[in-house]
Amino acid sequence: MAAIQDILRGLTILFNNKDSKLPSVPEVPGLPVIGNLLQLKEKKPFIKFTEWSEQYGPIYSIKAGASTVVVLNSTNVAKEAMVTRYSSISTRKLSKALSILSQDKNMVAMSDHNDFHKMVKRYILANVLGTEAQIRHTCHREAMVDNIVRKLHEHANTTNNQAVNFRKIFVSELFGVALKQAFGKDVESVYVKELGGTISRQDILKILVTDLMEGAIEIDWRDFFPYLQWVPNDKIENKILQIHLRRKAVMNALIQEHKKHIASGEELNCYIDYLLSEAKSLSEDQISMLLWETIIETSDTTLVTTEWAMYELSKHQDKQDQLYQELQSIHANKKITWETLSQLPYLGAVFHETLRKHSPVPIVPLRHCHEDTQLGGYHIPAGNEVAINIYGCNMDKNQWENPEEWMPERFLKGKYDPMDLFKTMAFGGGKRACAGALQAMLIACATIGTLVQQFQWSLAEGEDDNVDTTGLTTHKLHPLLVIPKPRTSSEGLNINCQKR
Ligand code: HEM
């Protein structure tokens, strides 16, 4: 039997891989023409990929219609793709939906590695996400945390220990930070001619964030059969186009509104002012996309992380107590600021363990091999796509003890530098590593720490089992319902509430 397997393997290498002495990657068996598509019909391929890695190892290939996708499931092989072999795997393979929604890769995160990418990455780091920019935006983050605390105290004072929808409060405040970074101020409503009138902040959030995240996971079967691109698929294409046009109309309205402030001489510390005055080589559409990118990226993944962290802390009272003890011994009732985060190792461990177990970006948007290369000792021919299964890397039993368990203590062991943002694969790695990791850490840690300092948290009844996820990022399927019990009365607290 083993001999037959060896002969078959030899033949596969001979025919698939003529120029390389390296073997071809193991293949997950599938059906003719459609390959493994039926096995992936749920919109959570990262779970199936991780299951397959137990049988086929950390690297294997699948067939998605006409494409061969090499799937990577361990930190070592993922890092090899992101760092060592990056120059051969640096282009993006976008679905039809993502091509429309990213307006043909006109975003930092979706662009290929080229001069455009280098330029716009410089812009986003200098104005929004780099250390100095984040220091300039401190007031927005602090106002956000103060507003959340105020709303939660109001809730606790008026409802007598009833559960609160954590997401509803948090997402609205996070969106405020996103708008302030992009436009210098929050927005209550805006007139959008194309939509026939003035739309509310709630609608702006839906059109700029929620609808886009839903549209991004729409699957057009033609993605898997490029030779059938000519076949019309109007329903899906129109849906995505509508999402894109509504986004474009709202962004345009916000930009026009902002130009009126500029004309009146009002100065605001924000990204749009920089892009309009300095980024001369960019078109209006490109400026709109770059601004929108900071809004959607700020409003989504940090919400995912903070919501899951509050879920885990509410479930594990002992861990919540440990965090509270740390906050009391180091901070008493003082405000948590970015300068003091490095003194709070357990808070950092809560953040990283949540990123590990609930990887907000479970799979890196597909990359494309534009030349022959190798990964994990296997030959990878040009034309293959590469899927980096971050969820799989962060749940790898060979790297993490009891990966299913949420155990912040694992990050307190001496081998981790407390301020290293890349302890897990959650933020990716190499040249395309997350540009917003610092912002995500500052917002999530300040929020989680302050909320545990001020309230004792427990899960609402039945919430324990609500662990299902949905979406492109791993959103909790059902918004978190938790009971916040104030540790002290709101009058005694050192909070500086700034309403919108
Ligand atoms: C917990 C929160 C976050 C997680 C887990 C996360 C995860 C990731 C991952 C995995 C990548 C790499 C994609 C790749 O290799 O192709 C990435 C890229 C990126 N992220 Fe994040 N992200 C988070 C928050 C943010 C925030 C708040 C922003 C900005 C407001 C942001 C902006 C970006 C940008 C611009 C890139 C592209 C970098 C490049 O291509 O050079 N991220 N993120």
Task: Report the pLDDT value the prediction gives residue 496, as an integer from 0 to 100.
Answer: 45
**At residue 341, does pLDDT exceed 70?**
yes
- Asked whether 298 lines ligand 1 (CB < 6 A), one says yes
Q: Is 392 in the pocket of ligand 1 (CB under 6 A)?
A: no
Minimal-distance CA residue to ligand 1 atom 25: 436
- The backbone torsions φ and ψ at residue 477, rounded to the nearest 5 degrees and listed phi first, read -60, -45
Q: Label residue 94 by pLDDT band (50, 70, 90).
A: confident
Cβ-based neighbours of 385, under 8 Å, separated by 6 or more: 64, 67, 68, 69, 70, 93, 366, 367, 368, 369
Closest atom of ligand 1 to CA, residue 367 = 16
**In the prediction, which pLDDT does 36 show?**
92
pLDDT per residue over 364-396, tens digit each?
989 999 999 999 999 999 999 999 999 999 999
Among all chains, which residue has been given the structure tokens 């023409």? 33
Is the pLDDT at 492 greater than 60? The verdict is: no
Q: Which residue lies with its CA nearest to atom 4 of ligand 1?
A: 427
Strands 373-375 and 164-165: unpaired
User: Ligand 1 center to residue 489 CA distance, Å?
Assistant: 38
Q: Is 281 exposed, middle or buried (0-12, 13-18, 19+ CB in 10 A)?
A: exposed
Question: What's the 157 CA to ligand 1 centre distance in angstroms?
Answer: 38
- Predicted confidence at residue 332, as pLDDT, reads 77
Pick the atom of ligand 1 nearest to 117's CA.
41
Q: What is the mean pLDDT of residues 71-96?
A: 95
Ligand 1 centroid, distance to 59 Cα (angstroms): 23
Q: Is 305 in the pocket of ligand 1 (CB under 6 A)?
A: yes
- What pLDDT does residue 222 have? 66
Give the separation between CA 463 and CA 482, rounded to whole angstroms.
8
426 lines ligand 1 (CB under 6 A): yes
**pLDDT surpasses 70 at 16:** no
Q: Is the CB of 472 under 6 A from ligand 1?
A: no
Atom number of ligand 1 nearest to Cα 304: 1
SS3 assignment, position 321:
helix
Does position 11 have pLDDT exceeding 70, yes or no?
A: no
Would you say the CB of residue 356 lies under 6 angstroms from ligand 1?
no
Does the CB atom of residue 440 touch ligand 1 within 6 A?
yes
Over residues 398-411, mean pLDDT: 96
Q: Which atom of ligand 1 is nearest to the CA of 428?
A: 10
Regarding the beta carbon of 75 and ligand 1, being less than 6 Å apart is answered no
Is the predicted pLDDT of residue 195 greater than 90, yes or no?
A: yes
Residue 428 near ligand 1, beta carbon < 6 Å? yes
| Residue 211 structure tokens | 């609808």
> CA-to-CA distance for 436 and 69, rounded, in angstroms?
27
Q: What separation in Å is there between the alpha carbon of 153 and the centre of ligand 1?
A: 32
Is 301 touching ligand 1 by the criterion CB < 6 Å? yes
For the chain, domains (ranges, CATH) are 2-490 (1.10.630.10)
User: Above 70 in pLDDT, residue 436?
Assistant: yes
**Residue range 33-58: average pLDDT?**
91
Listed in sequence order, the residues at least 6 apart from 376 whose beta carbon sits closer than 8 Å to its beta carbon are 25, 58, 59, 72, 76, 77, 80
With a 6 A CB cut-off, is 344 part of the ligand 1 pocket?
no
Q: Tell me, what's the pLDDT at 475?
A: 86
pLDDT of residue 264: 82
Q: Report the pLDDT value the prediction gives residue 9, as an integer from 0 to 100.
A: 46
Of 193-197, 228-232, 301-305, 314-318, the one with minimum mean pLDDT is: 228-232
Q: 187 CB less than 6 Å from ligand 1?
A: no
CA–CA distance, 172 with 378 (Å, rounded to integer): 47
**Does 97 have pLDDT greater than 80?**
yes
445 annotated to bind ligand: no
Residue 328: the pLDDT is 94
Interval 263-300: pLDDT, tens = 888 777 799 999 999 988 999 999 999 999 999 999 99
Does residue 4 surpass a pLDDT of 60? no
Rounded to the nearest angstrom, the distance between the alpha carbon of 301 and the centre of ligand 1 is 8
Q: Over the chain, what is the mean pLDDT?
A: 90
Q: Tell whether the model's pLDDT for residue 147 goes beyond 90.
A: yes
pLDDT of residue 235: 79
Residue 433 Cα to ligand 1 middle (Å): 7
Pair 384, 25: CB distance under 8 Å: no
385-388 and 367-368 strand pairing: antiparallel
Residue nearest to atom 29 of ligand 1 (CA): 436
Higher pLDDT, 395 or 494: 395
Main-chain dihedrals φ then ψ at residue 369, nearest 5 degrees? -85, 115
Q: Which residue has tokens 């899906």? A: 236
What is the structure's pLDDT at 419? 82
226 or 67: which leads in pLDDT:
67
- Among 11-25, 135-149, 432-446, the minimum mean pLDDT is found in 11-25
> Which of 434, 439, 445 is the pocket-test mutation for ligand 1 (most atoms within 8 Å of CB)?
434
**For residue 230, what pLDDT is reported?**
64
Across 89-115, average pLDDT: 93
Q: Is the dihedral of CA 442, 445, 451, 457 positive or negative?
A: positive
Q: What is the pLDDT of residues 461-483, one digit of tens each?
A: 999 888 888 877 888 889 999 99
Q: Reduced to 3 DSSP states, what percent helix, strand and coil does the chain have, rounded to the nearest 5?
A: 55, 10, 35
Place 497 in a pLDDT band, splitting at 50, 70 and 90: very low
Instruction: Determine the distance separating the centroid of ligand 1 and the alpha carbon of 149, expressed in angstroms.
Output: 27
What digits encode the pLDDT tens for the residues 294-335? 999 999 999 999 999 999 999 999 999 999 999 999 877 788
